[in-house]
Amino acid sequence: MNSGSSDDGVSRQDKRVLPPNREHRSPLPAPIHRKPAIMQEPVLVLNATFEPINITAVRRAMVLLLKGVAQAEELNHHEVHSTSRAMKVPSVIRLLAYRHIPQQTRALSRKNILLRDRNTCQFCGAIFPASELTLDHVVPRSRGGRSSWENLVACCYQCNNRKGDRTPEEAGIKLARRPRPFTLYTSRQLMRLIGHRDEKWRKYLFY
């Protein structure tokens, strides 16, 4: 009997090499991590009158461009590729039809909380991709804390675990700033803050 073979006709030596070689898989994580970061970069949205009215993510901005409801006014140095074409990533887009913007608070959502807090953990101050952030109830729900603009903040997982089901004071950590509703005024403040590091935005931020 041949000790180096089995009933299925595959030698033991062959079985040892069946798992895929890790060296062939190691390059894969790089594009997986880079693409979401690019697609979540902030894009300034202008009304048809060139008034800055919003900040959106690259992913949403490119959908608006492809639908023909906006045009790119400024581009950055990135490109995204599909099977048939490559597109420059926009930094500033302008709506082709005027949109009335009511003076009211934005809808409460995870996306808007992260946008208000600039993808920054409100306890340790570090900036993270959206996928590495969660929402924290400043006053825990077990203590009657509500899911509201004034009680929800962006938080990294490490700080979230450290805080647990406690208030910041009980956990010995401090909030970077008091959370507030995300109004159009707040949005324009955020536009100016981002505009300080993106010179393509600056000429549009005179409002």
> Do 192 and 205 contact (CB within 8 A), yes or no?
yes
pLDDT of res. 38: 82
132-191 pLDDT, tens digit per residue, is: 999 999 999 999 999 999 999 999 999 999 999 999 999 999 999 999 887 766 777 777
pLDDT of res. 78: 84
Where does the pLDDT of residue 105 fall: very low under 50, low under 70, confident under 90, or very high at 90 and above? low
Q: Is the pLDDT of residue 13 over 50?
A: no
DSSP secondary-structure letter at 145?
-
Q: Is the pLDDT of residue 34 over 70?
A: no
Q: Is the pLDDT of residue 8 over 60?
A: no
Helix boundaries (H) for 75-179: 110-116, 157-163, 168-171
> Do 99 and 50 contact (CB within 8 A), yes or no?
no
Where does the pLDDT of residue 19 fall: very low under 50, low under 70, confident under 90, or very high at 90 and above? very low
Higher pLDDT among residues 155 and 106, named by residue = 155
Residue in the block written with tokens 């069946």: 18
Percentage of residues in the chain having pLDDT higher than 70:
77
Question: Strand ranges (DSSP E) for 67-175?
Answer: 70-81, 86-95, 133-137, 152-156
Q: Is the pLDDT of residue 28 over 80?
A: no
Amino acid at 174: K
Where does the pLDDT of residue 205 fall: very low under 50, low under 70, confident under 90, or very high at 90 and above? confident
Instruction: Tell me the average pLDDT of the chain.
Output: 81
